[in-house]
């Protein structure tokens, strides 16, 4: 199941991974949340964070630059303890980053967002999870479970006036900085099954025919909300317009699946900084946890006398995938 339980994509830079607090060994390959401490004597720490969601009547508002309200969630020990809806004060695009930073927001979940706003959020230290759709509360819960990945939905198409287009603006301004149009207009997934709970059987194979996963073998369909960011992009898009009982075969390039490997997700740390890492070996699959207590998998790629190197890229990164998908039910 790990192929479809998309862990949150903390692909910011290698320094991010060096801030990890604990390390875990993987116990069961098919159960993402089963892991044990290497040393058995780590102290449990309570983590707090704030998550903001572009908000409109219970759902994720799809135009970051035009959002009028955010729902801000207080999280302690990876659980929501309170929430409140705040106004945007008429701010737009990059200025909203300052508003969120002033609220001590750590993570933003949204639909489409422009390049300028993304830069402003990064400079403000706010992690971005874009391209999300559907119920705001459910999206936050999915994020905390590691099941919501950023789709990177950007604002590169706007409602144009006076005949000019993005990339060809007069007076020197460009999209992502001062365009007044809405973000994400063409990145929002469409289809009759979007936002609905879908159950599918599937079989996944590599180009050489080798099977890497199958719900048929487990005897139980996979259940997810279509278009909510719980699935890889190409799988989600295929299910969006399927009929119940229909079977389709799809071929996905890496960009539609787990993306290409990110060099910045390979990082080296001092063994002394990670108590318990002395005994792990090259090639071993382990888990690190971030400052919020969320685990993510890494692979040990090198180990020297005083340092150890991890690769946090998904094991499927850079690979073309094939799926046979059968839509079992839609609710």
Write down the catalytic residue from 86, 212, 241, 271: 212
Per the annotation, the verdict on 267 as an active-site residue is yes
Tell me if residue 212 is catalytic. Answer: yes
Residue 92: Cβ-neighbour burial (10 angstroms; 0-12, 13-18, 19+): middle
Clarify whether 258 is annotated catalytic: yes
How long, in residues, is the chain?
A: 331
Instruction: Count Cβ atoms below 10 Å from residue 79 Cβ, excluding itself.
Output: 9
Dihedral (CA of 98, 99, 104, 110) sign: negative
Hey, is 59 helix, strand or coil? Answer: strand
Q: Which residues pair with 289 in a beta bridge?
A: 22, 295
Which residue of the set 213, 292, 296, 311 is catalytic?
Answer: 213
Cross-strand partners of 324 = 203, 249
CA distance 26 to 104: 33
What phi and psi, each to the nearest 5 degrees, are found at residue 236?
-55, -50
Active site residue 213: yes
Of 109, 113, 232, 266, catalytic: 232
Instruction: Tell me if 61 sits within 8 A of 48, measured CB to CB.
Output: no
CB atoms within 10 A of CB 133: 22
SS3 16: helix
Cα separation of 208 and 199, whole Å? 27
35, 64, 202, 296: the active-site residue: 202
d(CA 227, CA 207): 26
Q: Which residues pair with 269 in a beta bridge?
A: 308
**DSSP-based three-state secondary structure for 220:** coil
Residue tagged active-site, from 24, 224, 258, 296: 258
SS3 per-residue string spanning 133-187 = CCEHHHHHHHHHCCCCCCCCCECCCCCCCCCCCCCCCHHHCCCCCCCCCCCCCCC
The set of catalytic residues is: 202, 212-213, 232, 258, 267
């Amino acid at each position: 199941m790990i192929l479809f339980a998309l862990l949150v994509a903390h692909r910011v830079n290698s320094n991010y991974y060096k801030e990890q607090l604990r390390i875990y060994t993987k116990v069961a390959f098919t159960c993402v949340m089963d892991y044990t401490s290497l040393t058995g004597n780590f102290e449990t720490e309570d983590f707090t964070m704030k998550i903001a969601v572009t908000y409109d009547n219970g759902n994720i508002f799809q135009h970051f630059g035009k959002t009028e309200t955010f729902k801000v969630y207080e999280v302690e020990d990876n659980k929501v303890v309170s929430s409140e809806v705040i106004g945007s004060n008429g701010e737009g695009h990059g200025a909203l980053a300052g508003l969120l930073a002033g609220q001590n927001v750590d993570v933003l979940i949204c639909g489409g967002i422009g390049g300028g706003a993304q830069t402003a959020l990064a400079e403000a230290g706010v992690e971005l999870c874009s391209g999300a759709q559907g119920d705001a509360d459910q999206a936050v819960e999915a994020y905390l479970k590691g099941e919501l990945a950023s789709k990177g939905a950007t604002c590169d198409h706007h409602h144009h006036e006076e005949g000019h287009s993005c990339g060809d603006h007069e007076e020197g301004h460009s999209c992502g900085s001062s365009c007044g149009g809405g973000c994400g207009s063409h990145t929002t997934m469409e289809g009759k099954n979007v936002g609905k709970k879908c159950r599918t059987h599937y079989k996944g194979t590599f180009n050489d025919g080798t099977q890497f996963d199958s719900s048929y073998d487990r005897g139980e369909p996979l259940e997810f909300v279509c278009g909510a960011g719980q699935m890889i992009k190409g799988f989600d898009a295929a299910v969006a317009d399927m009929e119940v009982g229909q079977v389709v075969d799809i071929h996905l390039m890496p960009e539609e699946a787990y993306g290409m490997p990110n060099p910045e997700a390979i990082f080296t740390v001092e063994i002394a900084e990670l108590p318990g890492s002395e005994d792990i070996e090259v090639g071993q699959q382990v888990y690190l946890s971030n400052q919020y207590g969320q685990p993510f998998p890494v692979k040990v790629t090198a180990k020297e006398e005083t340092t150890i190197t991890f690769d946090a890229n998904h094991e499927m990164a850079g690979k073309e995938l094939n799926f046979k998908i059968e839509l079992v039910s839609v609710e």
